[in-house]
């Protein structure tokens, strides 16, 4: 029942063909050495449903996370702070794995949703990194990987400078 609803939800919100969704879910399960079924997708894939929140400043990220944590109907299951602990690739973002109630006509289903919160600059960097990862399926060339890591540092510095400028404007 929950699986059927989730499949219908995915079809409604993701503007890609059903077979593409199946391929994405199937490959993720196969990497985990799990039989690719919709039931297993719901059971073993935490980020099958997700929301990305883009904001202006790093401080906004933590304010938004605090607001989400304070919601009585949302249960925070896990937090990954890639801003204070960036991935080796340079990726920065704040991830929350939450459980939310989905109200159906006859019952309530709890659904796990991944929330990604990042700045505009972080999102720009992540979009390019994602594009590179899929273009170079096996391994990103070292020169490009190094350049991308350098850009991640620049993005982080940009976020800090923009936040500092904003603070001066608000105080000034």
Catalytic residues, by residue number, are: 114
Which structure tokens are listed for 162? 């923009």
3-class SS of residue 140? coil
CA contacts within 13 A on the Cβ side of 64: 20
The helix or strand, by DSSP H or E, that contains position 25, with its residue range, turns out to be helix 18-31
Which structure tokens are listed for 94? 């704040």
N residues, the chain: 172
CB distance 128 to 62 below 8 Å: no
């Amino acid at each position: 029942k929950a699986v059927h609803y989730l499949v219908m939800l995915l079809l409604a919100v993701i503007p890609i063909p059903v077979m593409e969704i199946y391929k994405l879910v199937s490959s993720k399960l196969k990497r985990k050495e799990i039989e690719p079924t919709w039931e297993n997708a719901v059971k073993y894939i935490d980020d099958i449903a997700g929301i990305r929140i883009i904001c202006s400043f790093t401080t906004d990220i933590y304010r938004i996370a605090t607001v989400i944590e304070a919601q009585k109907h949302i249960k925070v299951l896990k937090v990954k702070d890639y801003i204070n602990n960036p991935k080796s690739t340079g990726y920065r973002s704040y991830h929350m794995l939450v459980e939310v109630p989905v109200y159906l006509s006859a019952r309530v289903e709890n659904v796990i949703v991944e929330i990604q919160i990042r700045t505009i600059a972080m999102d720009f960097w992540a979009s390019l990194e994602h594009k590179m990862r899929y273009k170079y399926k096996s391994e990103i060339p070292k020169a490009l990987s190094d350049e991308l890591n350098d850009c991640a540092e620049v993005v982080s510095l940009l976020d800090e400078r923009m936040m500092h400028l904003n603070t001066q404007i608000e105080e000034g």
